Amino acid sequence: MDNNSTNASYSRTAVTLHWLGAILILILLGTGFRSDMTLNPEAKATFLRIHLPVAVAVLVLTLWRLGRWWRFDQKPAPLGNAPAWQEAVAIWTHRLLYVLLLVMLGSGIALSVMSGAPDAIFGTAPMPDFLEYAPRAVHGFAATLLVALIALHAGAALFHHFVKRDATLRRMWFGKRASVP
């Protein structure tokens, strides 16, 4: 597996981390919203038994991705076919995705610790009322914002792929790597 991205394309490692993270985040959002919407403690625990370990995996994966970008890898240059404002929106959308992920993970850890949720989810303690804990509001609000940003991110990728027909989505997929222009 190639380890470094080029100025023209993402490495297979970066692509794998991106899509693995995307799948795990969708699982987190699905199990989190489902858990929040059910009043049945057993069903809530079932969703949270998936949610908590996946959240730990997303935390590790996110820190790994950020560390790779910061110390070892580069992001490919923009394709240069978009107005400056769209490039700025893309940069800030990516940054906000990471910020929201870290807020979600931090508030989830705080909520879990403060409420004693692991004892209820993996043990025999009663399920706590998460609404009684301050991090719950942050966690829920950040989840809603994250869904909106993911929709913007995916919509932009699909717009580039199907309308503009450029390489934006293709270079974040598996296959032959583009050469440096």
Q: What is the pLDDT of residues 139-160, one digit of tens each?
A: 999 999 999 999 999 999 999 9
Walk me through the domains of the chain, giving residue ranges and CATH numbers.
12-172 (1.20.950)
Q: What is the pLDDT of residues 2-40, one digit of tens each?
A: 678 888 889 999 999 999 999 999 999 999 999 999 999
Q: Which residues neighbour 102 within 8 Å (Cβ) at sequence distance 6 or greater? A: 62
* 145-149: long-range contacts, CB 8 A cutoff, minimum separation 24: 145/100, 146/25, 146/29, 146/97, 146/100, 146/101, 146/104, 147/29, 149/93, 149/96, 149/97, 149/100
Has this prediction a pTM greater than 0.75? yes
Burial class (CB in 10 A: 0-12, 13-18, 19+), 85: exposed
Given this model, what pLDDT does residue 178 score? Answer: 52
Residue 16: both structure tokens together: 């794998």
Task: Let me know how long the chain is.
Answer: 181
